[in-house]
């Protein structure tokens, strides 16, 4: 390939600046990979007068999107502007103009990924989105290529750096949720409005993408059961530590006999589990395959250069496909019809923290609820709060979600139970 590759960029924020830096700094490596120089032709920005933290010729900047997506000189459009409505419109227009597209937009791909991939296929264009999940970790490429010959049975991981930073600080320092959230915002790990992160929505979008690819099944955001970390207390984390567990916001996707469950929720992991030692803003995804067994992918989940590295890697793949004449042929429709597990089919262990009346017969009344549903205890703590109230912490053996919900409701209706203070899923360890 003699002609150079021209790139158009939609957005010049943190990640867009990182993309330009990598293209500029790694020109020799890129030329070796794709067989020709790679250059940025045009960049869409909202304000031409804004000061940039990247060295770029001002003549390459534009406030008119058509100069990027309809530019005959541009081969690949990279979308790093964020948002959904405009980004979707621009990506479809770029694909219809026969531009290959690379995006880091997890929100867009979780909601409209199947539609956009079909548009790409119809126009014989590539649409890649490695950077949409876990930043610099090549998890999507690993599922699509490296593990494509295997049958994935389970994926679980930490796919949101903000919540992992908050839970790490709360666990190790004993700070309150509000204090650590403020620190995360000051350090730039959390947005001014952190709702998407702390309520688990960001992680849910990523798990929808991963489960669709890993299980070859069209999993939508509405199929993900989501719970955030806003109700996690210092007391919960203290008892986790006392019982030998670490709490993480875990994205879980599991397939059993063709039926799947996908969730994001605060989860207790045994301290010896590999994910328990993933701290601060780092991400990690644990993948179970029938042939390969267990593998784990670990690295920075966000940031300018890690995310930009994934984007430029996708760019290299686009150009290799162009050299081979196979652009637009990587999209395959899901192989399996979506089948979600029922609550009777979802099994786990559970952590419960109760405040109860401290009197004779209380413990017997509580254990009778569990005995009625044939669920036993794996671990148990009972501590006095004052002369009248005691705290009971229970970790159950495995049971179905439906049975656990029946137990939970039964405990709430017991006169001796003053309150169910907290309840969390437990993963890992012995069955």
Residues 219 and 154 in one domain: yes
Q: What's 398's DSSP letter?
A: P
Contact indicator for 289, 152 with CB cutoff of 8 Å: yes
- Maximum Cα interatomic distance, the chain, rounded to a whole number of Å: 86
- pTM, two decimals, is 0.90
Whole-number Å distance between alpha carbons of 79 and 76: 10
Tokens of 237: 């984390």
Whole-number Å distance between alpha carbons of 232 and 254: 24
Among 344, 175, 338, 354, CA closest to 259: 338
Residues 180 and 274 in one domain: yes
CATH of the domain at 16: 3.40.50.720
E strand residue ranges, 45-182? 61-62, 76-79, 100-103, 127-128, 152-158
User: CA dihedral defined by 255, 258, 259, 263, rounded to 10 degrees?
Assistant: 30
Q: Is residue 12 part of a domain?
A: yes
pLDDT (tens, 9 = 90+) of the chain, 431 residues, equals 457 899 999 999 989 999 999 999 999 999 888 888 999 999 999 989 888 888 899 999 999 999 999 999 999 999 999 999 999 999 999 999 999 999 999 999 999 998 999 999 999 999 999 888 877 788 888 888 878 878 999 999 999 999 999 999 999 988 899 999 999 888 877 888 999 999 999 999 999 999 999 999 999 999 999 999 999 999 999 999 999 999 999 999 999 999 999 999 999 999 999 999 999 889 999 999 999 899 999 988 767 788 889 999 999 999 999 888 888 887 777 889 999 999 999 999 999 999 999 999 999 999 999 999 999 999 999 999 998 999 999 999 999 999 999 999 999 999 999 999 999 999 986 54
Residues 283 and 144 in one domain: yes
Tokens of 190: 């959390």
Residues 181 and 58 in one domain: no
Q: Is residue 338 part of a domain?
A: no
Q: Is residue 308 part of a domain?
A: yes
Residues 39 and 115 in one domain: yes
Residues 124 and 220 in one domain: no
Q: Is residue 332 part of a domain?
A: no
Residues 295 and 320 in one domain: no
Tokens of 172: 């190790």
What range does the domain containing 386 cover? 347-426
Residues 309 and 289 in one domain: no
CATH of the domain at 358: 3.30.70.260
CA distances from 305 to 137, 165, 184, 312, 398 (A): 12, 19, 20, 10, 42
Contact indicator for 173, 165 with CB cutoff of 8 Å: no
CA distances from 316 to 35, 88, 218 (A): 10, 23, 27
Tokens of 10: 């939609």
pLDDT value of residue 1: 45
Query: 3-state DSSP helix/strand/coil percent for the chain, to nearest 5?
Result: 40, 25, 35
Contact indicator for 428, 383 with CB cutoff of 8 Å: no
pLDDT value of residue 337: 94
Residues 246 and 290 in one domain: yes
Among 109, 131, 102, CA closest to 205: 109
Residues 100 and 70 in one domain: yes
Residue 209, judged by CB atoms within 10 A of its CB (0-12, 13-18, 19+), counts as: buried
pLDDT value of residue 299: 85
Residues 320 and 358 in one domain: no
pLDDT value of residue 150: 87
Catalytic residues: 206
pLDDT value of residue 188: 78
CATH of the domain at 244: 3.30.360.10
Q: Is residue 336 part of a domain?
A: no
How many distinct structural domains can be found in the chain?
Answer: 3
Q: Is residue 375 part of a domain?
A: yes
Tokens of 274: 């590999």
Q: What residue has token string 């930073």?
A: 165
Whole-number Å distance between alpha carbons of 2 and 8: 19
Whole-number Å distance between alpha carbons of 231 and 62: 45
Residues 22 and 107 in one domain: yes
């Amino acid at each position: 390939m003699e002609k150079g590759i021209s790139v158009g960029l939609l957005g010049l924020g943190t990640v867009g600046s990182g993309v330009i830096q990598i293209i500029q700094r790694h020109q020799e490596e890129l030329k070796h990979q794709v067989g020709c120089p790679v250059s940025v032709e045009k960049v869409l920005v909202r304000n031409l007068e804004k000061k940039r933290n990247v060295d770029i010729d001002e003549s390459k900047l534009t406030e008119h999107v058509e100069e990027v997506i309809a530019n005959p000189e541009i081969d690949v459009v990279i979308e790093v502007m964020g948002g959904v409505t405009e980004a979707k419109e621009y990506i479809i227009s770029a694909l219809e103009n026969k531009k290959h597209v690379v995006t880091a937009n997890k929100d867009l791909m979780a909601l409209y990924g199947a539609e956009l991939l079909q548009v790409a296929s119809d126009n014989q264009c590539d649409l890649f989105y490695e950077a949409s999940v876990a930043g610099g970790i090549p998890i999507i490429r690993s599922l699509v290529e490296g593990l494509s010959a295997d049958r994935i049975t389970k994926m679980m991981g930490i796919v949101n750096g903000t919540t992992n930073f908050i839970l790490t600080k709360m666990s190790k320092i004993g700070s309150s949720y509000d204090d650590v959230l403020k620190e995360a915002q000051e350090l730039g790990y959390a947005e001014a409005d952190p709702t998407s992160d702390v309520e688990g929505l960001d992680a849910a979008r990523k798990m929808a993408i991963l489960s669709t690819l890993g299980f070859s099944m069209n999993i939508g955001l509405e199929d993900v059961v989501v719970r955030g970390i806003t109700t996690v207390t210092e007391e919960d984390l203290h008892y986790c530590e006392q019982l030998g567990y670490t709490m993480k916001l875990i994205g879980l996707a599991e397939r059993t006999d063709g039926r799947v469950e996908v969730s994001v929720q605060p989860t207790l992991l045994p301290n010896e589990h590999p994910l328990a030692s993933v701290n601060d803003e780092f991400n990690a995804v644990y993948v179970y395959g029938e042939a390969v067994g267990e593998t784990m992918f670990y690295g920075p989940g966000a940031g300018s250069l890690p995310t930009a590295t994934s984007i430029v890697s996708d760019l290299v793949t686009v150009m290799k496909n162009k050299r081979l004449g196979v652009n637009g042929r990587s999209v395959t429709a899901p192989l399996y019809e979506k089948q979600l597990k029922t609550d009777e089919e979802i099994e786990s262990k559970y952590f419960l923290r109760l405040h109860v009346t401290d009197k004779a017969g209380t413990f017997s009344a509580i254990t009778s609820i569990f005995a009625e549903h044939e669920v036993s205890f794996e671990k148990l703590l009972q501590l006095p709060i004052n002369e009248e109230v005691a705290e009971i912490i229970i970790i159950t053996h495995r049971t179905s979600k439906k049975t656990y919900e029946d137990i939970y409701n039964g405990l709430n209706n017991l006169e001796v139970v003053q309150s169910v203070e907290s309840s969390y899923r437990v993963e890992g360890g012995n069955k």
